[in-house]
Structure 1
Amino acid sequence: MQKITTYSFAKLSVFISCLLVNFLAVNAQEKTSLDEGWKFHFGNSAHPEKDFDYGNTLLLHKSNVFETTIISPKFVDTAWSKINVPHDWVVALPFVKSSTHEMDSHGYKPVGGLYPETSIGWYRKHFTVDKSKSNKRFEIQFDGIYRNAAIWINGFYVGTNFSGYLGKSYDITDYMNFDTENVMVVRVDATQSEGWFYEGAGIYRHVWLNSTDKIFIPEGGLFVHSEVKGKNAIVNIETTVQNNTFNTSNSTIYAYITDRNGKFIAKTSEQKITLASAKNTIVKQKLNLNNAHLWSLENPYLYKVISVVKSENKIVHQTKTRFGIRTLKFDAQEGFFLNGKHLKIQGTNNHQDHAGIGSALPDYMQYYRIKLLKKMGSNAYRTSHHAPTPELLEACDSLGMLVLDEQRLLNSSPEYIDQFERLIRRDRNHPSVFLWSIGNEEGGIQKTEYGKKIAQSLLAIQKDLDPFRTSTYAADMGNEFKGVNEVIPIRGFNYREYAVADYHRDHPNQPLLGTEMGSTVTTRGIYEKDSIRAYVPDQDITAPWWASKAETWWKLAAENDYWLGGFVWTGFDYRGEPTPYQWPNINSHFGIMDVCGFPKNIYYYYQSWWTNEDVLHISPHWNWPEKLGEPIDVWVNSNADGVELFLNGKSLGKKAMPRNSHLQWQVNYEPGTLEAIGYKKGKKITSKIETTGQVLIVVLSPDKNLLTADGKDATVINISLTDEKGREVPNANNMISFYLSGDAKIIGVGNGDPSSHEPDQCKVGAWQRSAFNGKCQVIIQAGKSVGSIKLEAKSNGLQSGSAIINLVKS
């Protein structure tokens, strides 16, 4: 008993000391959001006089410019627009018809070299810092600016971030004011694009002001990886400590781990380090965890590690990160294993924009989108074709979604090596990241010695910074073993699914992954090809020449163990890259869901074979008064063993369900009820669709009814148009007007129509959007006042709908 009591007291003492660490760390360091209170104004890439004389004025001839130039704190910006970030200025621009490929690939928005007046954005931010913090080190952190952003603070040039996707941090200690306000200026140049899809423009991710002691752990300086030993795990903690003082420092460092609830588990001993001025070192420590919880898709268990630096017996800095313990195995014959369990990769590719809000997504939207993908049965997400926002990875960590994390370009120049290193250092602690990608479809070099050598250089960097994962490359090549494919550890196939078997036969020791598969093009709720409105049927029947239908690739992947699995192009529709049409299309048709996240029929094909849920889905709808007596092609997607179809109670026949396929009937149309009855392992499953009445009611369905009153939280409210019996009218396209009361704001609207040119962002008090085939969507962001808000949705001749959302303290 005495031993137990002593041990418990020791653990309690350590726990109390860890609480004290957290308390003291608040005073030792701060991470302050700078998202609010920015000023914004367009510049001009062609005319310096319309770009605040940028290009004419000598802004770099001295270290500091305190005149009345655009970068000077004295510059008057009171007439500029007031905005908060994240901010995407492109989403609010009108659609512009153009015959240039640049325009159609980016969603017909006027941004790029041809539109100088809307391709440069200037941002200014005024902020103050208390004089009591004048002995601290200060750093400005941008999570993402699209793109080529030049930054000044108090008239001093700080740096330029070339990448539109990878964030960057800058030490601004020497330029800080403590007796007067600080003014930060950012010039964003979006005249050149990085991708061939909608990318937005502006400071579209978070901005932070970080203050630390001058002995500190730099960004990306904490690396956690683990080794599973039976039921236990060894957690390896590598911490970089940097000394920015002008003297040699004698410090100590230790780390401790808590469980998902914050309960203390284990702590290392304190290790002494001596650092010369302007030097850094990496300290490696280990901790043993008994009965470790493994991170999995079903139970994404997250621990937290906190690394603490002390100097002169005071805590000067701590860094914490969540991490998960899991094992990964890629086998060329048997496939992929997570924690020793075989797992077929059921992935989707995705760009980062969403209906109504472009690329400037509130954090909540990352979780919303991942939840939709998981419900469909997807277990993996490829960040095509660039570094994701950090909040996406946090959502995948928390919800249980694997991530293929991708480098922007196959390039080993100093700029892209720096980007790759920043990507790995930033993301390597996320348990969701199971694989790196060094690039995508570099047709000019991927088969050459250039490609091979560049790949080898990038792979060496990956192995140095993260030897516990491996890499792939998304190659649009068939059975070809040359260039990148000669050296890449895991062969990635973009399409060419017909060549996978031959490649495996010829290279049996190289694991294979479908990095882009499928690419069926569909328009939600449309069942006939329409070249005028630029729609394609909402079934798995149309694919571009380079791609395949869903059933074609998935049957191959599902039935052959040597396929690790694959990633569908794409989970969601996205702006730009309209296929097979151009104008009036302004977004793609590739998604399993549309830009709002509303499922198309192909969703139920994947859900049938990617989940164990009972799926029985009938399409199309059953409102065809103009086709009375004519045959309708009826599809049933299901994972039942067999399905019988009935029209108005009369059997139309029973069919066995082929695995990884679907069923079809030709049914002569008559109004009424089309019902399917399936049996799955003896269990009866039923589903039906009905001919509806006229649209009568507007129905609102919020994703959540409680929001944190922090000015950042958000929710999606989906709108359906129904008849008097509550049945959604599948071809209703009524215009809906939205009225919001309370401390919140509408930040975007959408309906999933790939040819809609209605604005995604409206003037305050004039928000509206037409429904598209029975549905539309509103995205609301919370204010800061506790209380309730009300959204009303009204349409001429229809019964209005409303939803109450409550704002609560965090």
Structure 2
Amino acid sequence: MLHNMYTIPFPGLKRCGLLVFLMLFAAGTLQAQQNRWKPKPPGVPSEIQITPYKTTMIANGKDEALINVKIIDSKGDSLANAQIPVVLHLSGDAKIVNIMDAGDFAAIPHTDTSWQINVHGSCRLILRAGTTLSKIKLEAKADSLYTGSTEIHTVQLGIAHVVTRDKYKPKKVTDKILGADISFLPQLESRGMKFSDKGVQGDAMEIMKAHGFNYIRLRIFVDPAQPKGYSPVKGFCDLEHTKQMAKRIKAAGMKFLLDFHYSDYWADPQQQNKPAAWAGEDFPAVKTSLYNYTVDVMQQLKDQGTAPDMVQVGNEINHGMVWPDGAIGSLDSLAQLIYEGVKGVQKVSPNTIIMLHIALGGQNAEARFFLDNMKERNVPFDVIGLSYYPKWHGTPADLKYNMADLAKRYPQQVMVAEYSQLKREVNDIAFNVPNGKAVGSFIWEPLSTWEGIFDKDGKANDYLDVVYPEIAGKYLNH
């Protein structure tokens, strides 16, 4: 085909000319791709942001979810004046029933699964679930912009079965928490990274403590060293690394939150994979494995004098954990697995605070759905933990409303278990939850990701030197 389109004037050079053409064509294509995805300056459209106000829906043909679609720049700021043609792609048993603030829209082709709209800065759409269990995926694509997407799980409700008939009064966190998840620290140190403040080198934990932090959160995986694990061969965030870090936390005079992922790899709303060691086990065996693993971890930490002050039984579990057994579509099974973790913690360390952590900072309806179902099944726990990232979880006003509403509805205290951006705003909300239900916050991985409190060379920056001392001064008990 190239020979027909391009005539090489010297027959003896046909092969060479074709090769040169292909090389130039490939180079031009590569350059075009690089230009397309190279970082764009602030104020220029860079990405389509999708923020769902439900990521769990009832498969009854009636349940609806509000979804915001927004054009943002490379800093994450909204671009109200941007006018971008966007194509929406929908898979799973659901349909778009309304699109607001986008003017006229037309199907491409004329079905419920593909739509073209003109987004003037932002728009809203209503998604309605079908009647079958499925994972619904919505993507928003536009030329030269990063694609936005979200995943929604559907469930069918049945009769709730309690995990225990014992009555439980949630324990209270008495001291306010200004915490940080710094599970990456051993990996950073293994690469030679050093931390300092005003030119004085020191231990990252000690530096953080001096600037107001009083609690450290650590994630733990079952077998992260296995080939498909979080840290093949090296095994970062396994039990042994966790025990070493726990000693450092206690030596620094700080408190300790342990975050059980119950997986060999990251566990979050998009993946909650069963550990390889539990593969092939039936549900009763999975329950036993989860309980025994929890007891073993807690006992080894207790034996070295570093029992956690607080424990998360699962990480961002609003879509369940230990899939498929504990997926959100199997609410009774999920409640039973959570209860096995709770029992494991309580057997070893009955005074440890237990948190249920959901990734729903601004999604009030879904947060209530999850917590109501755990309440119906009588799952005992002490603290409601929320993740809050504006891109996925709405505005600060959404977070504030959600935390206040949950504090009024449930006996548990409420906290922000993960965040990064909007540090002052998030903490002002987290420390001012009504009804005496405020606990505080944990920033996620501030040593090396997003808006870190240290620069890339390990030097403390204004977030650590200015922002966090201000927050600590306003909210912590001294």
Q: Which has the higher strand share?
A: 1
Give 1 or 2: higher helix fraction: 2
Larger Rg: 1
Q: TM-score, normalised by structure 2?
A: 0.43
